[in-house]
Structure 1
């Protein structure tokens, strides 16, 4: 489910649309001198706000897809690493070299177990990406490095020549490259959604002329036209705009 803060942004934009509908209904009486309060500018701001919400959802969807792709790519690494050790043990490798490989395998097993508990996958396009890069990102980085170390040990052992394609050094090297690419894609997607949130928050709350500020000015203007006890002011006064924790 979307977080409370994410839905709060959408509610503010919807309320801004309601506010525009009310002041439009006032006809020629609604005639502010401030340019930002005029109807064309209000409509443009509402459109920009809706676009910023849509962009965050799009970027969230892309992020979630990349996270899921990474999880799938890493899903067999633990088992694959153990199979590699078994294949190396069946070669003419020395005990010392096997021990080096086992050390990297142990690190892969341990890092993978931790990453599983810190990684969230979802197919909900509205599920927000985390506010900060998660510890799982670093865990995946470490797994790639441990795999690289294991491959280096294999490359130094001339007797390691398995017939199984997925255990061959060339295949493992390609696997490492694919894992790196998918891990980097998650980082890029995270950056994109983070930047999209910043742009949305600027439009809704931070910039001069944001809907948060403009809505407040509209209410003041309506109050100045009709008075504090007027039904018109009661209409717009009741429309709430809350700034979520961002």
Structure 2
């Protein structure tokens, strides 16, 4: 199975791996393991493991494109505050710029800079919740829209035509294109990841026959057929299954 350093993914993978371990112990019990509850028959537990393993693999395979998209967007947006501070100075020295025009520019810049940190969840954690993601995406969309307003303001300022490339209108038009592209890439990679995560979570935690509940039920049954002083009993007792 692919590895993932996020704490939540380790938790999911641990539940899946522990079911495989439990199944191995059940197999070793042979005919002694004979529950009346068909849901915890070994064949059903093995199928549950196979389903969860495959679904976790799907999540793992979809995570790198999403993480890369988030990192690329961060690389575009992170320098903006510094760049806009320098732009203000370049704008201020433009011939004929009035105090009112400078104030209008600053209002736009504040909108681009002024997204609260708590609103932006630029996380590659695949279990970052959907509400936080939606707020984050909206924040980036708003910043990009304000960049368009900034460009229009520069275009409508007489004499604004700096020699330095970093302050030119074309430079900011290019930034806007990059902002749009990277924000869209995050959305495009998030949707399949979120769908795969939902399927995986349903199998492990949410369905009526979810992995965690079935595994704990199977453990309870095993405890009825093994001596509590036996090595097998103690080993199975150490195999843990936890809800998120």
> TM-score category by the smaller chain?
0.7 to 0.9
For 2:123 and 2:237, the matched residues in 1 are separated by 41
CA positional deviation for 1:241:
2.0
Corresponding position: 1:104 with 2:103: no
What is the aligned length? Answer: 236
Q: Name 2:56's counterpart in structure 1.
A: 53
Corresponding position: 1:240 with 2:240: yes
CA positional deviation for 1:152:
0.9
For 1:193 and 1:235, the matched residues in 2 are separated by 35
Q: Name 1:159's counterpart in structure 2.
A: 159
For 2:208 and 2:123, the matched residues in 1 are separated by 37
Identify the match of residue 75 of structure 2 among 72, 76, 80. Answer: 72
TM value normalised by structure 1: 0.74
CA contact (8 A) 2:122 2:136 kept: no
Q: Name 2:202's counterpart in structure 1.
A: 202
For 1:212 and 1:11, the matched residues in 2 are separated by 11
CA positional deviation for 1:204:
0.9
Distance 1:227 1:205, change over 3 A: same
For 1:81 and 1:147, the matched residues in 2 are separated by 10
1:1-22: CA deviation from partner (whole Å, max 9, x where unpaired): 633x543322222221121111
1:18-59: CA deviation from partner (whole Å, max 9, x where unpaired): 211112112345456766544444323212212333333444
Distance 1:62 1:73, change over 3 A: same
Distance 1:107 1:233, change over 3 A: closer
What does residue range 40-189 of structure 1 map to in structure 2 within 5 Å?
Answer: 40-95=43-98, 96-111=100-115, 114-115=116-117, 127-131=125-129, 132-133=131-132, 137-189=137-189
CA positional deviation for 1:191:
4.0
CA contact (8 A) 2:20 2:49 kept: yes
Distance 1:242 1:170, change over 3 A: same
Identify the match of residue 28 of structure 2 among 25, 29, 35. Answer: 25
For 2:31 and 2:139, the matched residues in 1 are separated by 62
Q: Is there any run of 5+ residues in structure 2 with no aligned partner, and where?
A: none
Distance 1:30 1:136, change over 3 A: closer
1:99-148: CA deviation from partner (whole Å, max 9, x where unpaired): 3223222433444xx449966667xxxx5552242665454334323322
TM value normalised by structure 2: 0.74
Distance 1:211 1:99, change over 3 A: closer
CA positional deviation for 1:209:
3.0
CA positional deviation for 1:174:
2.2
